[in-house]
Amino acid sequence: MKQAELYTKLDDLIRCDLCARHCVLAEGETGYCRVRVVEGGELYTKVYGLIDGMAPDPIEKKPMFHFAPGSHTFSISTSCCNFHCKFCLNYHSSQREEPVGRKMSPDEIVRLAKDYDCQGISYTYTEPTIFMELAHDTAEIAHAEGMYNTFVTNGYETPKAIEYIAPYLDAVTVDFKGSGNKEFYKEYMDVPSVKPIFTALKKFKEEGIFIELTNLIIPELGDFEENTRELAEWIVEHLGRLTPLHLTAFGPTYQMTDLPRTSASTLERHMDIAKKAGLEFVYSGNVAGHDGENTYCPECGFKAVERYSVYLRSNNLDENGKCPKCGHDLNMGGVQWQQRGAARRSLF
């Protein structure tokens, strides 16, 4: 174990300041995430250097369509999570009672990422907040090696946690479910409030971190049109109309195997709502071959980027990440890494 960062001593108790649950723990107790434990009056993390999942991925898989398109990222995760989503795709790792994994140092992670010819590292699969110390130390080394760092996160970090990682974090994908409906979060995810996610998004923007968002649409239980509209309007107001939003399809899994897959028509309905609310880049997800996977210039209609599922078919962006036909700003970040990944622009 390694001594944790971001906690406060309260007489004989410890308050964890890493995620918005702010668990208050006595000696020997473990937080909701199951990886932070009090021993000897200090808080420790059980997952530092204990990698439960890793793989080289296209950055588009995160999903991240507007940051370093065509590049490859080395994805890593540890066990456990600070949410309990009944539909989690990675439940075999996120819902473990005790963490497991392969011991790896931050240096070893970065070295392996470079061996796989990745331009960056993504902290993903499970919630990166719970392995923040490992992410921080790995990200610092990756930056020194000229690589980018991204989080795929549920957005439940505290502002202190975001400040801690911000110097080394280039981009985030913040995952909403059920359009952020607060009752859905309580019943199906065991999350008491969605407000900290919006606070975190404002903090990510304040720190200059590139933001994309996803929103999982679940038939029957999480198909909230009004919440989709409200979420899109909030994004336009607080993050900007060029912020990419991915509307992703649900597939039966974990404790929700009795529900159908989300249809393409359902996604299209929510995409239309988000576009009418003012967002310029709204995408479909988990429906391979859908035209909503492509990036079109909102000014002239040119297909600037073509994709199939999580794979890049063609990248027609200019060297500044803008529309090559009219020069319109397409809000493309990480252009320097996009150029390094140019050899992967056509996979078909």
Specify the domain boundaries for CATH 3.20.20.70 within the chain: 50-344
What local confidence, expressed as pLDDT, does residue 319 receive? Answer: 87
Alpha-carbon distance of 69 to 60, in angstroms, equals 7
pLDDT (mean) for 132-147: 98
Nearest to 55 by CA among 104, 4, 124: 124
At residue 348, does pLDDT exceed 80?
no
At residue 198, does pLDDT exceed 90?
yes
The tens digit of pLDDT for each residue in 8-20 reads 999 999 999 999 9
Bridge partners, residue 248, by sequence: 216, 285
Nearest to 172 by CA among 62, 310, 17, 305: 62
DSSP string, 40-109: TTEEEES-TTEESEEEEEEGGGTT-SSBSTT-EEEEEE-S--S---TT-TTHHHHT-SS---EE--HHHH
pLDDT (mean) for 172-186: 97
At residue 214, does pLDDT exceed 80?
yes
* Greater model confidence, 220 or 163: 163
pLDDT band at 346 (very low <50, low <70, confident <90, very high): very low
What local confidence, expressed as pLDDT, does residue 289 receive? Answer: 94
What local confidence, expressed as pLDDT, does residue 339 receive? Answer: 54
Bridge partners, residue 149, by sequence: 121
Q: At 325, phi and psi to the nearest 5?
A: -85, -45
R_g over Cα of the chain: 20
- Dmax over CA atoms of the chain, in Å, equals 64
Neighbouring residues of 82: CB distance < 8 A, sequence distance ≥ 6: 19, 21, 31, 32, 33, 127, 129, 130, 154, 156
pLDDT band at 345 (very low <50, low <70, confident <90, very high): very low
At residue 342, does pLDDT exceed 70?
no
pLDDT band at 336 (very low <50, low <70, confident <90, very high): confident
Alpha helix (H) ranges present in the chain? Answer: 91-94, 106-115, 132-144, 159-165, 182-189, 195-206, 225-238, 264-276, 335-340
pTM across the whole model: 0.95
Topology, domain 50-344: TIM Barrel (3.20.20)
pLDDT band at 309 (very low <50, low <70, confident <90, very high): very high
What local confidence, expressed as pLDDT, does residue 344 receive? Answer: 44
Chain center to CA of 175: 6
What local confidence, expressed as pLDDT, does residue 340 receive? Answer: 54
